[in-house]
């Protein structure tokens, strides 16, 4: 079991980035609205450098924040009204490589995604994936956890993690959420 320990707390986004670079936690809980550097900018800095995974934890249930956080590379988006036990479990899930989205936000996110009528595009690097990696990417596009992917593809969870890591590396992605969006954009996920 993954142990959850609070390593430190920053007063703003700049402090969060500085502390995360210094302490190297597996997961950072990041607010959106903070003095100075906002949470989306701080998230982008941390995920671009591969410092850690970020879960945005905010009181603001606004689509612009959800989309901004996910585009910045956040592995999760939760509201501060989340129950403590679910928050801890979400941190564990993200530390294991999964993503988490607030249930009340999920439906709006899916509806917004479905409403976009972008033509299917082939992202750079997709042709470098093995058949199994493409299958894993498609499963990520459906929002499946490592355990669910393993069951569907009849492979072990450790093998799934290896495939996910390779997919992220080959496609130059920072998170599973970005991989899921790419899989959707590429038309790898059945309607």
| DSSP conformation letters of 55-69 | EEEES---HHHHHHH
Residue 155 confidence (pLDDT)? 95
Query: What pLDDT is attached to residue 55?
Result: 93
8 Å CB contact between 181 and 70: yes
Q: What are phi and psi of 57, to 5 degrees?
A: -130, 110
> What is the pLDDT, as a whole number, of residue 191?
61
Q: What is the pLDDT of residue 114?
A: 64
Q: Where are the domains of the chain?
A: 13-114, 119-185
Burial of 135 (0-12, 13-18, 19+ CB in 10 A): middle
pLDDT recorded at residue 121:
57
CATH of the domain spanning 13-114, picked from 3.40.50.300, 3.30.565.10, 3.40.50.2300, 3.30.590.10: 3.40.50.2300
Work out the average pLDDT over 116-130.
72
For residue 78, report the phi and psi dihedrals to the nearest 5 degrees.
Answer: -130, 155
pLDDT, one tens digit per residue, over 60-102 is 878 788 888 888 999 999 999 999 999 999 999 999 888 888 8
CATH 1.10.150.390 is right for the domain spanning 119-185: no
The span from the CA of 149 to the CA of 109, in Å, is 22
Whole-number pLDDT of residue 41: 93
**pLDDT given at position 21:** 93
N- to C-terminal Cα separation, the chain: 35
pLDDT value of residue 138: 92
At residue 92, what are phi and psi to the nearest 5 degrees?
-65, -45
- Kindly report the pTM of this predicted structure: 0.61
- State the DSSP code for 127: G
């Amino acid at each position: 079991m993954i142990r959850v320990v609070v390593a430190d707390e920053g007063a703003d986004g700049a402090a969060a980035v500085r502390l995360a670079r210094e302490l190297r936690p597996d997961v950072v809980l990041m607010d959106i609205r903070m003095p100075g550097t906002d949470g989306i900018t701080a998230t982008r800095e941390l995920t671009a450098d591969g410092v850690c995974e970020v879960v945005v934890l905010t009181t603001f249930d606004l689509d612009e924040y959800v989309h901004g956080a996910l585009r910045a590379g956040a592995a999760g988006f939760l509201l501060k009204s989340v129950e403590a036990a679910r928050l801890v479990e979400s941190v564990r899930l993200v530390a294991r490589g999964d993503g988490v989205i607030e249930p009340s936000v999920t439906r709006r996110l899916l509806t917004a995604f479905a409403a976009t009528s972008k033509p299917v595009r082939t992202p750079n690097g997709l042709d470098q994936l093995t058949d199994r990696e493409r299958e894993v990417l498609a499963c990520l596009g459906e929002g499946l956890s490592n355990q669910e992917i393993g069951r569907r593809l009849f492979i072990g969870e450790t093998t799934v993690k290896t495939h996910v890591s390779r997919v992220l590396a080959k496609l130059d992605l920072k998170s599973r959420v970005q991989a899921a969006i790419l899989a959707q954009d590429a038309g790898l996920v059945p309607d």
